[in-house]
Structure formats: C-alpha cells, structure tokens
Amino acid sequence: MGALATGHGEVVFNTSMTGYQEVLTDPSYAGQLVTLTYPLVGNYGINPQDFESAKIRVAGLIVREHCDRPSHGQSDRTLDEYLKAQNIPGICGVDTRAITRRLRQHGVMMGLLTTESPEAAVAQLAEMPRYDDQDLVRTVTTEAQYRWDGEPVTLEALPLTASGNISRPTLVVGSPGENSGETQEPRPRILVTDVGVKYNILRLLQERGCEVIAMPAATSAEDMLAMNPSGILLSPGPGDPQLLDYVVDNVRQVLGRVPVMGICLGHQLVARALGGQTYKLPFGHRGGNHPVQDMSSGRVYITAQNHGFAVDPDTLPAGLEVSHINLNDGTVEGTRHRDMPLFTIQYHSEASPGPRDNEYIFDQFLGMVKEFNH
C-alpha cells in the first residue's frame, strides 16, 4: 500500500474508527508513522471535502487492511492511489494491535518503513534524526499569511511551495470589517497562528462570521498587533514545544493585549510563554473518545485528541489555572487565565475527525473576543 518510498518517523497509534483522510492530512502528524488501530481502512475512499490541509502530512501509514474498492458517493480515488500520488509509503497486513500494545507498554519509538533488510533498516534508523529533536512546525506552517475564504475547490490545482504548502498571494490587510457592508456589525478579525493549522478551525471560525487570517508561525508580535486583530487563535501543530522559543516569545507579547485561545500545541505554547513547563507523554493521546472534565461545571465531554506532549500542572504560573482534565489519566486538558482574556484546550474542539461536541468552545472564544473589544 502507498508509495515504494522510505518512511521515517515516530511510530504512534490512533484509535479513531473513522477519519483516516483527516488524520493523513493533519499537520500535527508530521514526522510520524501513524498506526490506525481500526483494522479496515480506506472503505469510503478519499473525497474532495475532507482534507485538513493541502497534502498528506504523516510520514507513513500502518494498517491491518486497506480497501482497494471503496464505496462512497463522494469518493474520487482510493487510499492507495492518494498515498502513491503524494509519494507517501504505507504498509498493510501487519498486526496493528500487536504494534499498539508494544507502543503502550514501551512508549512511542522511532520507526522506519522500508523495503530493505531489517539489519540495514536498523542501521539506517540509528542515523536518522529523532522526532524530539526536530522543529516540525517549520515544515508545515504557511509561508505567507492568507485570508481564509473557504477551501480551494481542487487543492491539487494550486501551486505548492518548496515546503509543500499552498502558495497564495500575500495578503494586504486593511482594518477589520472592511468587507462586511455598512449595515452589519464589523466582523471580528481572528488571526490564526499557523503552527500546523487544520482547515476545520478556519472553517468553523468563518462559519461564525469571522474574518479569518492565517499567519506564518514566526510572525512577530509586532506584526500581528499591527493588523489590529480582534482575537488570536494559536493552532495545533506537531512536535516538542520546547523547540519553539521563536514562537513562544511572540506569544508572550500578545497575551493580555488581545483575546487568545490556544488549541493543542497552541495550548502548550501559552503555558510555556507564561513560564510553565511541558513534558512528553509515554504514548500520547490520539483518538476520538477521550473523556475530558470541565473542572468548573463537572460536566464530561467526549473529545478528539492528538498530542504527545502535555502541560505540567505543577509548573503553571500564578493566574493560569487548570480548567479541564483528562479522566483517563488526569493530565491537563485545558487552562484559563484568571485576569487575561485567555484560555486554552489540549484537545481538538474542531474535531475532524472526531466528535463535534466541543464546537461550543469556539463560541466561548468569540464571546470573549466580543466582550474584550466592546
């Protein structure tokens, strides 16, 4: 299955039973070989609607069985064709449950998808860079800022930049609300710091009447503030937040001055910006069934998750409080600032894939934006 290429990365597992297309294109999986625990993959093919970024981001895909005759009205190609077209390797027919059990017992580890002998592969693997040492955000962030006006009809038709991202004309931005007509309230302008953004975050903000502008990860705080944003959303993304001081420094400068929401890596960046620490989980949380409790209401939400690092609650600075915890292992799933217009979540309110129970978080963010800018 997939291209006859070598795939190298951290081997992780995801327990979602649907949504392989979204997983493949989720930038947070950059540098990882993803094992899907559900054994039958590719059943509904690949369709033009369910991309979460411009291309496949995983380093390789590991499945028990892939479907070469998909059945779905929207499908326009098979999983195998999609992988091959983008030169991404895959492997099928392997005991994915055995792999998952090993990862659970020993933690995630580096792996290689190869056609060479095991001995050669082991030697090669020792030479390869380790996941934890790589700044993967640089490989997935947009090169230039762009306004989200809905996704392009055919992604393939758009030219790709050297880093593989969609090349769009650089955006010149006026003041918020310019295009919204005179009679309407000005649309809130939300800057999305793209450290690996998923389209569905942009879609959900746009659906809620926002002007949505995606920004390169390294955009300076000065440049962001100069755009007069109503709010800033720090996106999810791949890799260890410890390697991202060039983003964290800018995040620190906007906190308190603009309403900020952080998702996943964005949540970890906020914690680090305020002096908190992050650490690596043994095998991460990847799936669509994680129970998260809102500490203030006691309510439990089923969430989509995809993270290998977590915020250490003992290192949180004064003012930043734990707002959500994971009921499986007690790890931090969200924080809220007592004084600043700032909250973060470790899970994915944008789902895609996963349960849509948490889209209300975007409404909370926009409520905070409205209140702050009032």
Partner 1 sequence: WKKYWLLAPAPSSSARPPSLTTREPKACKALREEGVSVVLVNSNPATIMTDTDIADHVYIEPLTVEVIERIIAKERPQGILPTLGGQTGLNMAVALSDAGVLDRYNVRLLGTPLETIRKAEDREFFRNFLHDIGEPEPPNRTVNSMEEALAYREEMGLPLVVRPAYTLGGTGGGIANTQGEFEATVASGLASSPISQVLLERSLVGWKEIEYEVIRDGDDNCITVCNMENLDPMGAHTGDSIVVAPSQTLTDKEYQMLRSASLKIIRGLGIEGGCNIQMAEPDSPYYVIEVNPRVSRSSALASKATGYPIARVSAKIAVGKRLHEIPNAVTGKTGAAFEPALDYCVVKIPRWPFDKFPNGDRQITTQMKATGEVMAIDRSFEAALQKAIRSLEIEGMATDGHGEGPDTRNLMEPNDLRLWALMAALRRNTPPEELMGKTFIDPWFISAMQRIVNMERRLLGETLTPDLLYRAKRLGFSDRQVGTLADMLPEQVRNLRHDWNLRPVYKMVDTCAAEFEAVTPYYYSTYEEENEALPLPGKKAIVIGSGPIRIGQGIEFDYCSVHAAWALSQAGVSSVMINSNPETVSTDFDTSDRLYFEPLDEEAVRDIIDNETVDDVPPPSVVQFGGQTAINLSQGPGPRRSAYPGLQRRCH
Binding site for partner 1 (CB under 8 A): 13, 15-19, 21-22, 37-40, 43-44, 47, 49-50, 64-65, 67, 69-74, 94-98, 100-101, 104, 283, 287-291, 293, 298-300, 302, 327-328, 351-357
92 is catalytic: no
350 is catalytic: yes
Beta carbon of residue 21, minimum distance to partner 1 (angstroms, whole number): 8
374 is catalytic: no
Greatest CA separation found in the chain?
70
Identify whether the C-beta of residue 193 lies closer than 8 Å to the C-beta of residue 234: yes
Comparison of 145 and 352: residue with beta carbon closer to partner 1: 352
Comparison of 325 and 340: residue with beta carbon closer to partner 1: 325
The pair of three-digit structure tokens given for residue 1, joined into one six-digit string = 């299955």
DSSP string, 47-63: -TT--SSSS--BSEEE-
Beta carbon of residue 347, minimum distance to partner 1 (angstroms, whole number): 13
Beta carbon of residue 70, minimum distance to partner 1 (angstroms, whole number): 7
User: Computed from CA positions of residues 180, 203, 56, 309, in that sequence, does the dihedral angle turn out positive or negative?
Assistant: positive
CA distance 201 to 336: 20
Comparison of 72 and 106: residue with beta carbon closer to partner 1: 72
Comparison of 73 and 169: residue with beta carbon closer to partner 1: 73
- From 285, 307, 337, 348, the catalytic residue: 348
- From 264, 267, 290, 333, the catalytic residue: 264
Q: How far is CA 106 from the centre of its chain?
A: 25
Q: Give 61's strand partners.
A: 34, 90
Instruction: Identify the helix (H) or strand (E) that includes residue 249.
Output: helix 245-254
Beta carbon of residue 18, minimum distance to partner 1 (angstroms, whole number): 4
- From 52, 211, 333, 350, the catalytic residue: 350
Beta carbon of residue 295, minimum distance to partner 1 (angstroms, whole number): 12
The pair of three-digit structure tokens given for residue 204, joined into one six-digit string = 């959900």
Coil, strand or helix: which one is 169?
coil
Comparison of 74 and 364: residue with beta carbon closer to partner 1: 74
Start-to-end CA distance of the chain, whole Å, equals 54
DSSP string, 70-84: ---TT--B-HHHHHH
> Which residues are known catalytic residues?
264, 348, 350
